[in-house]
Amino acid sequence: MNSATRLAVRKRARDRCEYCHLHQEDAPFLGHQIEHIIPRQHGGGDGIANLALACYRCNKLKGPNLSAFDPQTAKVVRLFNPRRQRWSDHFAVRGVLVLGRSAVGRATVELLCMNAAKRQALRKAIGT
């Protein structure tokens, strides 16, 4: 992936993880990464429409997953797609918690462990 593509993805995301919304400046020791929304192994390409900016933790936990279980219904649903869906339709922030507002949001929050103790402590420390 060339530097122009990387820069375009970062600029579009405003240096914020497109999944948990953590800003790069709030995680200076682990740089945000360019991730494939639909992984190559599932037919996803390297075009900018299939790329998202993700913090290290979200990228690592998402891995090649395309779906996860909604903890409320126990049904398998597709994960949040930052190119096709609006964050605010699927997530809300209450204090230090990221809440799923939909099955997609709940499954994504669960799979990416967005409310792990360290994540909550970081949000508290940065005042979000």
For every one of its 128 residues, what pLDDT tens digit does the chain have, with 9 covering 90 and above? 899 999 999 999 999 999 999 999 987 678 899 999 999 999 999 999 999 999 999 999 999 999 999 999 999 999 999 999 999 999 999 999 999 999 999 999 999 999 999 999 999 998 86
pTM of the model: 0.94
3-state secondary structure 104-122: HHHHHHHHCCCCCHHHHHH
Rounded (5°) CA angle 109-110-115: 65
Residues 18 and 118: beta-carbon distance below 8 Å: no
